[in-house]
A and B are shown apart, each in its own frame.
Chain A
Amino acid sequence: MSYDDVEIEDMEWNEELQAYTYPCPCGDLFQITKEELKLGEEIARCPSCSLYITVIYNAEDFADQKSNKNLNPQKQTVAVA
């Protein structure tokens, strides 16, 4: 059973781990990488215990480089100008 549902905006990007993280009740961190999100993975696991959370996010936000560029606000500004 998933311990919790957590929105991606509530997770923190951890440079050292190269993963989005969220506190686990064991004291460690639930972790999910950008690559996993790109593949549509929803489960963030804790390396220290059996618990995991379900990550809520828009698949398009992580889909691939092309769609990321489409979301780029600078591009939109250019389009508006």
Chain B
Amino acid sequence: MEENQKGKLISRQQEDEKGSIGEEQVWSWGAGTDGQLGTGRLRDEYLPQSLHLPSLSSTGPISMLACGGAHVVALTSGGKVLTWGRGTSGQLGHGEMINSLSPKPVECLGNDFITQVSAGWSHSGFVSDAGCAFTCGDGSFGQLGHGDYRSHCSPIKVSYFVNKHAQQIACGMRHSLVLLTDCPGDQVYGFGAGKRGQLGISINNIKSINLPQVTCGFRDIKITAISANGDHSAAISADGQLYTWGRGFGGTSDSHCPQLVASSLCCSKASLGWNHALVLSGDGEVLMLGGTHHGVLSDPKKMNPPKHLSANSGESLLERVPSPDGMKVVQIAAGAEHSALVTDDGVIKTWGWGEHGQLGLGNTCDQTKPQTVHLDREYPQKDTTLRVYCGSGFTYAIRSPRLLTQT
């Protein structure tokens, strides 16, 4: 539910200094009863809705979105944060516990340049360029990391990391992970609910913890990305290895320590759902872990044979997602029970659970294979960049003018 786009961010900043970068377009679809679609309406949408968000567009291009249970956190290229959707636990950081139908700035972070954001079920996390981590929202499982179980409606700096340099934060259903820079060995921390092993702190059957604690097993491994969703956690190492811990995929047992998923796979990105994980390989192929849960994310008969066995026997299998028209995939996003991808020719495909229209196909049907989503305006692919983000039961797409700095 989070993604570090620092590279893109920097190139966008350079572009900003030169002047206008043109029009950015945002679409949303799926569950909308808490205002998370930004449409100004409290209803589900089965087709992509083109959004008009003056408060957002006036703040500059969006460098990333993080979509949670029913709220959205947008990060602009200028390091500003706007949030909307469900706010009843304080997850919007607006200083009050109410929903917001349209993007509103998180004023409390106004003096910080934010570089990465994450949205959990009912809490949010922010990391600044100075390496500070901030959290707000529901704290009843210790997922805010402030040493108590209180909720906060404005972002509070996690004091545990004050003399350290936080690089990324990842918020799951009731837990959080933080990745530090330049801290070999003790680089990943977990806090919040830990019953399913999602903190990876090697204390079996710990119910919850309200202060960050080191995730075990990464002493000699350099981690470059972390992600969390549901009761799952994942990390990717500098050499493209994927590790997962927490709730088991596809009916396998929970893991209280990070497990190597498939050593033969070079993984460039991972995105977690509540019962599945999407993995993007270095050559633009998508694989899925645990897709058979709930029976909607994949049809085993239609899937290609499992590509890899996991490192440990008895672990769940990675299945190859049928390649859409043989195209390379450039981006993946997992919702709670649905999935989305972007191909390198600029097409969005979705599959999985569709009851709230979160697949954007104009109906509420489930899909076991990726299906093309039609946005209402098509542009020549060479001029634009398309990104997709999934919340629990909803989806966002952003089309940005392709920058000269991006080749």
- A22, chain B: closest CB distance, angstroms: 10
Task: Identify B355's interface contact among A1, A10, A12, A26, CB under 8 A.
Answer: A26
A27 interface contact, C-beta 8 A: yes
B391, closest chain A residue (CB): A27
Contacts of B69 on A, CB cut-off 8 Å? 23, 27
Task: Collect the chain A residues with CB atoms within 8 Å of residue B34's CB.
Answer: 27
A26 to chain B, nearest CB (A): 4
Q: Establish whether residues A48 and B33, one from each chain, have CB atoms under 8 Å apart when the complex forms.
A: yes
Q: Which residues of the partner chain B approach A36 to less than 8 Å between Cβ atoms?
A: none
Q: Are A28 and B355 in contact (CB under 8 A)?
A: no
Indicate if B104 sits at the interface (CB-CB under 8 A). no
When the two chains form their complex, are residues B173 and A23 in contact, meaning their CB atoms are under 8 A apart? yes
Determine how close the nearest CB of chain B comes to the CB of A5; give it in whole angstroms.
12
* Main SS class of interface, B: loop
Q: Is A40 an interface residue (CB 8 A)?
A: no
B394:A25 contact, CB within 8 angstroms: no
How many chain A residues have a CB neighbour from B under 8 Å? 13
Within 8 A of B (CB), among A32-63: 48-51
Question: Is the beta-carbon distance between A26 and B31 smaller than 8 angstroms?
Answer: yes
Given B195, B294, B295, B393, which contacts A27 in the complex, CB threshold below 8 Å?
B393
B46 contacts the other chain (CB 8 A): no
Within 8 A of A (CB), among B365-407: 391-394
Q: Smallest CB-CB separation from A2: which chain B residue? A: B294
Interface string of B81-122 (1 = CB under 8 A from A): 000001000000000000000000000000000000000010
Give the number of A-B contacts (CB < 8 Å).
Answer: 45
User: Is the pair B121, A26 in contact by a Cβ cutoff of 8 Å?
Assistant: no
Judge whether A25 and B195 touch: CB under 8 Å.
no
Which listed residue (A3, A27, A51) contacts B70, Cβ 8 A? A27
CA of A26 to CA of B355, assembled, Å: 8
Say yes or no for B245: interface residue by CB 8 A criterion.
no
B167-203 interface code vs A (CB 8 A; 1 in, 0 out): 0000001000000000000000000000100000000
Pair B294/A3 contact, Cβ less than 8 Å: yes
Q: Is A26 in contact with B356, judged by CB distance below 8 angstroms?
A: yes
Residues from chain B with a CB closer than 8 A to the CB of A28 are 31, 33, 70
Q: Are B392 and A25 in contact, CB atoms less than 8 angstroms apart?
A: yes
**Whole-angstrom distance between the Cβ of B170 and the nearest chain A Cβ:** 17
- Which residues of A have CB within 8 Å of B353? 25
CB distance from B297 to the nearest CB of A (A): 11
CA distance A10 to B196 in the complex (A): 11
Question: B274 contacts the other chain (Cβ, under 8 Å)?
Answer: yes
> How many angstroms between the C-alpha atoms of A47 and B119 in the bound complex?
23
Give the residue name and chain of the B residue nearest to A12 (CB).
B140
- B36 interfacial by beta-carbon distance below 8 Å: yes
CB-based contact A25/B336 at 8 Å: yes
Q: Beyond A25-B336, A25-B353, A27-B70, is A1–B121 a contact (Cβ under 8 Å)?
A: no
Task: Tell me, rounded to whole Å, the shortest Cβ–Cβ distance linking A6 to chain B.
Answer: 11
The CA of A27 and the CA of B121, in the complex, are separated in Å by 8
Q: Chain B residues near A25 (CB, 8 Å)?
A: 274, 335-337, 353, 392-393
What are 6 A-B pairs with beta-carbon distances under 8 A? Answer: A3-B294, A23-B173, A27-B70, A27-B356, A27-B393, A27-B394
The 6 closest A-B pairs by CB, nearest first: A25-B336, A27-B70, A26-B393, A25-B337, A27-B393, A27-B392
A interface residue numbers (CB < 8 A to B): 1, 3, 10, 12, 23, 25-28, 48-51
Contacts A23-B121, A23-B173, A27-B69 given; 6 further ones with Cβ under 8 A? Answer: A12-B140, A23-B69, A23-B392, A26-B356, A27-B393, A51-B355
